[in-house]
Chain A
């Protein structure tokens, strides 16, 4: 395998119903109208030299290298900025063109260092390539240009960004980086400052990159044709030798990447241009923050211990697996079949989560399996199934490019789903309208060239009241899409819902007192969403992580149905999934009540299908959910837990409750790449493999199944699917697979929406959006096209039931939580990368008014107390939050954000109410009691691990001496 470089057609693809035929170098070429001459020539196999053009960016016409001759036209037009015309006759090569191009190159090179042999772009430099292509043999202007590398004229490279450098000496001022920052990323952090020889790329206001508003997405680095912007890893290691296409292991966008490697070592990650989720773009996490995979904290040998107050013992895989199996069997023999269970993770592949739920149902013999989607998007699964008939988003990401109005509810795409955020911003710059429903002023509300038409800045916990008010306006102002509803939805349910939302208590005027949002803004937003053409709703955990999360998901589906906004491009109900494989882990039957494909365990036909395939009988009753497991652990009926890739001790609410439950268990088995917070309570540690070390698939938020491909061997010797198979075998239930593709084949056999999925087909198509079966052999980008999956769409009533968690005299502020661009979830991965330069601690955002009232200044330590617990953070005083609301992230365990969150949860799914906690905030001078306890406990656990490591080191040194 060698490095795979996608062809570059110079200018973006155009789509048009009108086709244009022209002649290029004597050959007839037919392309869509609007296509550039450059692209048409490239498609015809005649490459035109270029420097400022690349097909991810709009044509710019500055380098003058792509000049062509066109019959009947004077001069030599730039082929990148010249659109094709019918009958046009183009020559891409002639003696005159060659002379002109050499002249242009000569000028470029006269002002470029000629250190090619020691340059980091050597082997992958477009300037070098073009010099070769045009046959440059001499530079008549001498080599004294001011940008040359002699000491007195060179400007020192900017190395402030941890991942890439900016060396102005190598810059040819092609503007590709500036345009990538604008067009691809939408941040507008870069510009060209100065004129003529003084022209330079400038970040922010001529600041170092790190201090500017640059978000380090790397689009500029990718666009740069020279070594001006270059990955530090390439500077250090040199160009890679081969590339492997795989899928990012961070958020639910599921970006496709080329992992460029030397041997078993990653040199850099480059977003794959043909990746349909990301279309060649990425964020700082996916492109740069992969170093955790080889971090020294990785644990690569299995370990066991009798109690959590003992040091770890390093053992063989066999011993660890047999110990875990015998403990699970011992507990079951003593306390019953239901006394053990398993937790899968959205960080695992589909195949891995499928195997864990299979192990629980077949080898443990119960349905006590759950996944971390319990604490994020379980209300999406419930709410969309009830209303539309399928527990998944309705669209493909590209759909947003046809939206006329976008409503973003409880999501922060530019931080949480940055690549989708960039796509959305692009559509907004093209003129689509924007409604933001969020308690905070997120970036989308006002960012360069984007401004929300409405920001409904509601109080946390009042989503449903807002949704009902929007629906009220739609039904009382005659904005219902009557024809759509009559054809596509259940009539009786619609009439009942219509009467419900039309009630006076649901009017914007009545709900304003609850939500804090002025009625006129709600009315305006409703009119805009219902009347602007294609209306698309995107939502995130700000919708689901509430006591009324499921109600709100149903309220969103109601809004989409009543306006006819489901079933075509540009519209839809789009949950932005938090982690890479939230959709997939849910699809794979990780919930205790459902078998793969969202089929209830009580459905005897489905159960018998799996029973006959697996050769066991399956319990027809639902098992324990994660919070139920904790309760059962505390009452002594649940004592053994197998956790793959999840960190419940940090990510789940009410940390002290979770810690007590973990302490109460007799056998906690953690399979992970690091000793995470949960592993500190474990009795068996099974080393996991990072996404770079295994094969499998992830399914992103648009139901897209993409391959994860192994680029290095598992550091601990086994991939996670092999570990689960070994555990099942030790439990007396062998699961024999030679490769994860065989697991997918089994999933496809047993799951109607996956019948057509196979690794071969994914390889052929690049990725597949389920359902993929006999009816849709190549997958389903848009769901519910002619009818809803459940037949008729069902409107559900969505009465606003206030959460029990309300501000009062003791706890007068409402805490809401969220994420930040540079860190990911519990931070286990990103904290172990240079991303900490952007976010080295979780902070508490507090409004200046609330801060002043309490005597809190920016940067002060503040105690945050709720009825669940207390922690201490540093304050950031900001108007992003409204008075009465405070906000924090949960990326660092020592912050203890979840020490404060309560066990309040969604009525339908028990998804925790992370987004609303009543708190008090006061200035303090020392960490909270929990933090001091946590610090001591963490230090002790680290010592238990370190003791083991020291022993290993001593043994190794002794071995050396003996040798």
Chain B
């Protein structure tokens, strides 16, 4: 899928949870949301983008951290 669109959607999810003062809570919430509502393929493409690291397409740091810390193993995602 279009990575720019995936990043745009992920950033919006991040924008919502950014209001939570506890960064760990915000990060886990973002990761949980992606696990619950995104298909494995969509998560995989976002993870691959982050793993490549050369161009994050504007992905916010909060979302990037959330994904790296809590969604790095896609086979475990979705068990929230």
Contacts and interface: CB of A to CB of B under 8 A. Distances in A.
Interface of A: 338, 496, 500, 547-548, 550-551, 592-593, 600-602, 620-625, 628, 631-632, 634-635, 637, 797-799, 801, 903, 905, 907-910
A799 B33 contact: no
A628 B15 contact: no
A797 B80 CA distance: 21
A368 B3 CA distance: 20
A362 B60 CA distance: 38
5 contacts: A593-B37, A637-B41, A797-B19, A907-B9, A908-B37
B2 interface: yes
A560 to B, nearest CB: 20
B5 A620 contact: no
Given A622-B78, A797-B19, A907-B15, A600 B1 contact: no
Nearest to A799: B19
A593 B27 CA distance: 21
B58 interface: no
A600 B18 contact: no
Contacts of B9: 905, 907, 910
Contacts of B20: 797
Contacts of A624: 39
A801 B16 contact: yes
A547 B11 CA distance: 12
B53 interface: no
A760 B15 CA distance: 49
B47 to A, nearest CB: 14
B19 A907 contact: no
Contacts of A797: 19-20
- The interface centre, meaning the residue of A628, A637, A798 with most chain B CB atoms within 10 A of its CB, is A628
A451 B66 CA distance: 49
A188 to B, nearest CB: 45
B1 A632 contact: yes
Contacts of B40: 621
B16 A620 contact: no
Interface residues of B, number: 25
Given A496-B21, A621-B78, A628 B16 contact: no
A908 B1 contact: no
B37 A799 contact: no
Interface string B18-55: 11110000000000010111111110000000000000
Given A547-B12, A908-B13, A910-B9, A622 B19 contact: no
B36 A602 contact: yes
B18 to A, nearest CB: 7
Give 10 nearest A-B pairs by CB, closest first.
A799-B19, A907-B12, A797-B19, A631-B1, A801-B15, A621-B78, A602-B78, A621-B40, A907-B16, A602-B79
A128 B21 CA distance: 75
Nearest to B17: A797
Given A593-B36, A623-B39, A624-B39, A907 B80 contact: no
Contact of B18 (A631, A634, A637, A799): A799
Nearest to B33: A908
B74 to A, nearest CB: 9
A621 B44 CA distance: 13
Contacts of A905: 9
Contacts of B19: 500, 797-799
A907 B17 CA distance: 10
Contact of A602 (B2, B13, B38, B80): B80
Contacts of A623: 39
A637 B40 CA distance: 14
A903 B20 CA distance: 27
A593 B2 CA distance: 21
Nearest to B20: A797
A622 B15 contact: no
Contact of A907 (B2, B13, B35): B13
B54 to A, nearest CB: 21
Nearest to B22: A496
Contacts of B13: 907-908
Nearest to B1: A631
Given A600-B80, A621-B78, 5 more contacts: A338-B41, A602-B80, A621-B39, A634-B2, A909-B37
A620 B78 contact: yes
A628 B78 contact: no
Nearest to B35: A602
B2 A631 contact: yes
A910 B5 CA distance: 12
A801 B16 CA distance: 7
A568 B80 CA distance: 33
Q: Which of A547, A592, A622, A637 has the most CB of B within 10 A?
A: A622
A225 to B, nearest CB: 57
Contact of B16 (A592, A632, A799, A903): A799
Contacts of B78: 601-602, 620-622
A144 B20 CA distance: 83
Nearest to A797: B19
A548 B15 CA distance: 10
B58 to A, nearest CB: 12
B68 to A, nearest CB: 20
Nearest to A554: B16
Nearest to B6: A631
A368 to B, nearest CB: 8
A54 to B, nearest CB: 52
A600 B21 CA distance: 28
A624 to B, nearest CB: 6
Contacts of B80: 600, 602
A635 B78 CA distance: 24
B56 to A, nearest CB: 18
Nearest to A548: B16
B42 A628 contact: yes
Contact of A551 (B2, B16, B35, B77): B16
A865 to B, nearest CB: 22
Nearest to B15: A801
A855 B65 CA distance: 52
B1 A628 contact: yes
B21 to A, nearest CB: 7
Contacts of B15: 799, 801, 907
A548 B77 CA distance: 25
A798 B17 CA distance: 9
A500 B20 CA distance: 9
A820 to B, nearest CB: 31
Contacts of A628: 1, 39, 42
Nearest to A802: B15
Contacts of A548: 16
Contacts of A903: 5
A628 B42 CA distance: 9
A535 B66 CA distance: 39
B5 A631 contact: yes
Contacts of A637: 41
Contacts of A551: 16
A422 to B, nearest CB: 37
A338 B21 CA distance: 39
Nearest to B45: A635
A66 B39 CA distance: 69
Contacts of A621: 39-40, 77-78
